[in-house]
Amino acid sequence: MSSRYDILFEPVRIGPVTSPNRFYQVPHCNGMGHRFPRSLARMRGIKAEGGWGVVCTEEVEIHPSSDITPYNQGRLWDDSDIANLQMMTDAVHEHGSLAGIELVYQGLSGKNYYSRLPTFAPTNASVLGGYPMQARAMSKTDIKQFRKWHKDAAIRSKKAGFDIIYTYAGHGLSVLMHFLSRRFNDRSDEYGGCLENRARLLKEVLIDTKEAVGDTCAVALRIAVDELLGQKGIEANGEGSDIIEMLADLPDLWDVNVSGWENDSQTSRFSKEGFQEQYTKHVKKLTNKPVVGVGRFTSPDAMVSQIKRGVLDLIGAARPSIADPFLPNKIKNNQTDNIRECIGCNICVSSDNYAAPIRCTQNPTMGEEWRRDWHPEIIQPKHAEESVLIVGSGPSGLECGLSLAKRGYNVVIAEKQSLAGGRVLKESKLPGLSEWKRVMDYRLNQLQQMPNVEIYFESEVTLENIEEFGFDNIILATGSKWKNNGQSRYTRIHLSHDNSIRILTPDDIMDGVIPSGNVLIFDAENNYMAGVISELCSDQGCSVSYLTPESKASAWTENTLEQERIQSRLMQKNVPLFLNRQLVKAQDGHVHHQCVYSGEQQEIKCDTLILVTEREPEDQIFTTLENNNNFKHFSLIGDAFTPGLIAQAIHSGHLEARVFGEKNPDKFWFNRDK
């Protein structure tokens, strides 16, 4: 280990317990929770194995009146839930790390879809999130009952083996945060009004928790010091600081961030490493207790800087620990070039929003540790002395080649272009997506160090020459291309158009074609692509308009917590938004579009129409030879098999490498929670 990183491996005292180092996996959702406890325990245990000194849960419900259904979060309603959570603490303790639990009562954020109980909150108000129901203003009796529920959950947490017990007042997802907030707390009793009154319940719960478990367990407070709402909310230089001063030495640990979740977990398109420092750098000056904070840290030098400059005591991470569970050990073992750096795409977040087990673009084993018995750093050896030709060096081809090489196979990658990376290389050049290049850089760096790998550029494999390469095992990772015919999830009818309007696709734009004049971008994919192309064209001086059948720009990106920022960015660039509109035809220099509800038609002057709709697999070689070839192994992976997210392409390549040569490939699927 380089001596300049020694400080990261110093132990840190947290109340009655000690973290073996400064690497702290803060609580984060994972789509497993109480429904998949073995998967959860295995995933957290691997992080401890990877060197994280503290490994925490996700939100853990303390009572049925705040159930978070349909999300797969933790549950600690009664003693029957202890056993599931103890699986995690056992897995974490096995590697000498501390286990933390984040107890939560969501208040206005809870709907109780499962329990069907009334929601409790500081005041009578509509619950957040659009569901047509209201919360009940907590009476003094209700507050007393809530305190008992929280205390009981803390005691159960101790029985389950947790070392750090959280009191949660962050992300706008906690009743304790709602009591603190002037926006949600309009009470006139001793729990409302001035900040001291609004902080009363938080203080009482902290004291309750310390009295219940503080002899052997540390008590942490996770709190948002700024809601990024200006004077409408808590501000770092206002009430955020006042709360810390008021409670300075009561918790054993301060876990500080910004609220809400879309601010705390911003994508790399809108924020860079360490972006939260401006809001949290003052906290250590207000308390003598250790402070942990986040900032999507992947650089060990940035981590050291945070410690030495007195910003943090512990380096908090959620997404970087997902992308590389072994990040701490790689720093310790002078393997920093081998870190799988988080690209900040928030595909991990989208999984939670779908109530599905977590996934990661960079780490295809995330969420598969128990179900498929996949380890992020260990893969089974080859089954025989064989060589494999992989056609294409996009994300799936690079991942498949790297994983096969790690198994010990001789791998040759043939790429028709002069550079590797495929769609990742192209997309990383679009506005805000530069960090996505890490997907390619990590894998190329690994492959170039391996003696059993050869990469040939400007080597196109065609139907005519595929047999000339002399390989018995061929895997096609030939990618996909964007359609230019107008087909999308909304229509299978080809777009009617004439030559008066230039029709382009994202491929054309990424290949350097520069549109001019009046540009209309039609978004029927609803992810990031149409938004970034709109930005690019606007920056190039085009008069850009954006049209979509959805009611929001880049509608699916609500799942990656960036939809509002994308739409705001387009509005800032004066890009007109035509929402709830479907394409009809493109003729005579105009695009005709209609309302998806009424069918009412309008037209807009257009020189160039950019279609962001669907992609077509580049699978011609496979479909032609699938049933008529002499190869021992012949398969199709990634976007060439099914176009999708980059994360899906990476997973497809990894899965292919894992099952290659196995007699029973299904064995990697059936190891699931029972």
Per annotation, catalytic residue among 81, 152, 208, 264: 264
CATH code for position 81: 3.20.20.70
524 and 542 housed in the same domain: yes
423 and 290 within one domain: no
Is residue 121 within 8 Å of 104, Cβ to Cβ? no
State yes or no: cis peptide before 320, omega within 30 of 0: no
Residue 377 lies in a domain: no
Report yes or no: 351 and 357 within 8 Å, Cβ to Cβ.
yes
Same domain, 331 and 409: no
Q: Residue 362 — φ and ψ, nearest 5°?
A: -75, -35
| 673 noted as active-site residue | no
pLDDT for residue 663: 82
Nearest Cα to 363, choosing from 371, 372, 375, 350?
375
Does 637 fall in a domain?
Answer: no
CATH number at residue 458: 3.40.50.720
Distance CA 673, CA 43 (A): 13
- pTM here? 0.96
Catalytic-residue membership of 29: yes
CA–CA separation, 236 vs 129, rounded Å? Answer: 25
The pLDDT tens digits for 543-567 are 999 999 999 999 999 999 999 999 9
Is residue 332 located within the same domain as residue 194? yes
Q: Tell me the C-alpha distance between 228 and 238, whole Å.
A: 12
What per-residue confidence (pLDDT) applies to 667? Answer: 63
Q: Is residue 335 part of a domain?
A: yes
What are 55-82's pLDDT values in tens digits?
999 999 999 999 999 999 999 999 999 9
Per the structure, the complete domain to which residue 323 belongs is given by: 3-353
User: For residue 666, what pLDDT is reported?
Assistant: 72
For range 109-125, the mean pLDDT: 93
Share of the chain above pLDDT 70, in %: 99
Same domain, 509 and 610: yes
**CATH code where residue 520 lies:** 3.50.50.60
**Separation of alpha carbons 424 and 495, rounded Å:** 28
At 669 the pLDDT is: 61
Pairwise CA distance, residues 548 & 633, whole Å: 43
Q: Please report which confidence band the pLDDT of residue 665 belongs to, taking 50, 70 and 90 as the band edges.
A: confident
Residue 670 has pLDDT above 60, yes or no: no
Confidence (pLDDT) at 527: 98
* Amino acid in the structure at residue 384: A
Name the band, by pLDDT with cuts 50, 70 and 90, for residue 662: confident
Enter the tokens of residue 574: 């004066």
Cα end-to-end distance, the chain, whole Å: 42
Catalytic residue among 29, 217, 537, 542: 29
- Looking at the predicted structure, is the pLDDT value of residue 674 above 80? no
Assigned domain for 649 exists: yes
Q: Is residue 380 part of a domain?
A: no
- Side-by-side strand order, sheet with 125-126: 119-121, 134-137, 125-126
CB 174 within 8 A of CB 180: no
What is the domain count for the chain? 3
CA distance 346 to 271: 12
Strand order in the sheet with 577-578: 502-504, 608-612, 518-523, 543-547, 577-578
Condensed to tens digits (0 to 9), the pLDDT of residues 587-600 reads 999 999 999 999 99
Instruction: Indicate whether 379 belongs to any domain.
Output: no
Instruction: Indicate if 85 and 162 belong to the same structural domain.
Output: yes
Residues 63, 93, 171, 651: which is the catalytic one?
Answer: 171
Q: Which of residues 335, 353, 371 is at a domain's end?
A: 353
Please check whether residues 649 and 607 belong to one and the same domain: no
Q: Do 305 and 179 share a structural domain?
A: yes
CB 236 within 8 A of CB 279: yes
Asked if 456 is an active-site residue, the reply is no
- Stronger pLDDT, 110 or 578, i.e. the higher one: 578
Residue 84, SS3 per DSSP: helix
What are the pLDDT digits (tens) for 89-111?
999 999 999 999 999 999 999 89
Among 353, 373, 404, the domain-final residue is 353
**Residue 171 catalytic?**
yes
Q: Does residue 613 contact residue 524 with C-beta atoms inside 8 Å?
A: yes
Instruction: Please check whether residues 578 and 653 belong to one and the same domain.
Output: no
Binned at pLDDT 50, 70 and 90, residue 157 comes out as very high
Of the candidates 113, 148, 162, the one whose C-alpha atom is nearest the C-alpha of residue 133 is 113
pLDDT for 2 beyond 80: no
On whether both 509 and 465 belong to a single domain, the answer is no
The answer to whether residue 499 scores a pLDDT higher than 90 is yes
Q: Residue 236, by phi and psi: left (phi above 0), alpha (psi -120 to 50) or beta? A: alpha
CB 343 within 8 A of CB 361: yes
Pairing between β-strand 581-587 and β-strand 496-497 as defined by DSSP bridges: parallel
Query: At residue 286, does pLDDT exceed 60?
Result: yes
Q: What does the pLDDT look like over 197-231, one tens digit per residue? A: 999 999 999 999 999 999 999 999 999 999 999 98
Let me know whether 204 and 101 are in one domain: yes
The answer, yes or no, to whether residue 533 has pLDDT greater than 60, is: yes
Residue 631 placed within a domain: no
Catalytic option among 24, 71, 168, 279: 168
Q: Which amino acid is at 577?
A: L
Residue range 399-457, pLDDT digits in tens = 999 999 999 999 999 999 999 999 999 999 999 999 999 999 999 999 999 999 999 99
* Mean pLDDT of the 163-169 span: 97
Distance CA 46, CA 377 (A): 10
Res. 361: pLDDT tops 60: yes
Q: List phi, psi (to 5°) of 173.
A: -115, 20
Which of 302, 327, 353 is a domain's end point?
353
Residue 135 within a domain: yes
Domain check: are 302 and 451 in the same one? no
- Position 142 pLDDT exceeds 70: yes
